[in-house]
Amino acid sequence: MTATLATPTLLAWRDYDPAACALPGMFLGEVPLPGPPRGQAERLWQLGARRVRLPAPVDLTPAAEPEAAVHGLGLVRDLTARAVMVEWELRLAPDAVDTWRMLSHLQPPAALLVAAEGRDPADGEGPSPAEQALNTWRRGHYLCKCLWRKGPGFIQIRDRRWGELRRFTADEPEYEAAIARLDHGALADTVPKAVLEDFRGEQLVLDIGPYAWWLPYRVSRWLQQSIAI
């Protein structure tokens, strides 16, 4: 089972530059995203979208709807892979601020929202833990930071989220099948347990309520040049 929502929408423009987006004809309007999330980034690209804005924060707090979070993160991940500018916000629980590190290969959000961080205003000025995390995320982000690719008879993940290159390579078909299932969110109990635990051990999946969601993206644009693949 894949997580789905009923017709989410977002705002889209034809250019990356906010000044260019203000020119006549550059605003694509409110774009509905009907159907399953798979392929939505490609559809937006073909529509001409180069800058998009999610209408609501991606909420990873326990009280939030996990389906909405899975769908929102999937859009951010797949649009990041296409080097589309994504304007979005992320909401985390106070005890889960470090979750940002698992998401640090995604385009940094405009705001990292953490309710009740336990910070007393009398403690003085200075960035909050959420602000510090977001600043670090922005300074360290680059395209291709955590990606996967399919070779002849194997899959490989290349992950630099933790400061060094980590590789995960598997040639067993059940791993590729699990990635296909997890790509846009799957109920964790529908994925082979041994494979899922391997992915969890490498921090390649994020648990969102009853769902497990695949973190790496299959890159569509290279870091060095604007070459579509």
Q: Are residues 158 and 205 in the same domain?
A: yes
In this predicted model, what pLDDT tens digit does every residue of 181-211 receive, in sequence order? 999 999 999 999 999 999 999 999 999 999 9
Amino acid 5: pLDDT = 47
- Look up tokens 């109920």; give the residue: 187
**Residue 161: phi, psi to the nearest 5?**
-65, -20
In this predicted model, what pLDDT tens digit does every residue of 38-77 receive, in sequence order? 889 999 999 999 999 999 999 999 999 999 999 999 999 9
Tally of domains in the chain: 2
What range defines the domain where residue 96 resides? 9-140
Q: Are residues 100 and 207 in the same domain?
A: no
Q: Are residues 128 and 186 in the same domain?
A: no
- Decide if 126 contacts 149 (C-beta within 8 A): no
pLDDT grade for 227, boundaries at 50, 70 and 90: very low
Q: How far apart are CA 173 and CA 209, in angstroms?
A: 27
Say how many CA atoms lie within 13 Å of 145 toward its Cβ: 22
Q: Are residues 58 and 93 in the same domain?
A: yes
- Decide if 66 contacts 210 (C-beta within 8 A): yes
Q: Are residues 62 and 154 in the same domain?
A: no
Q: How far apart are CA 115 and CA 171, in angstroms?
A: 43
Structure tokens at 67: 């389906």
Q: Are residues 204 and 98 in the same domain?
A: no
Q: Are residues 109 and 31 in the same domain?
A: yes
- H/E stretch holding 156: strand 154-159
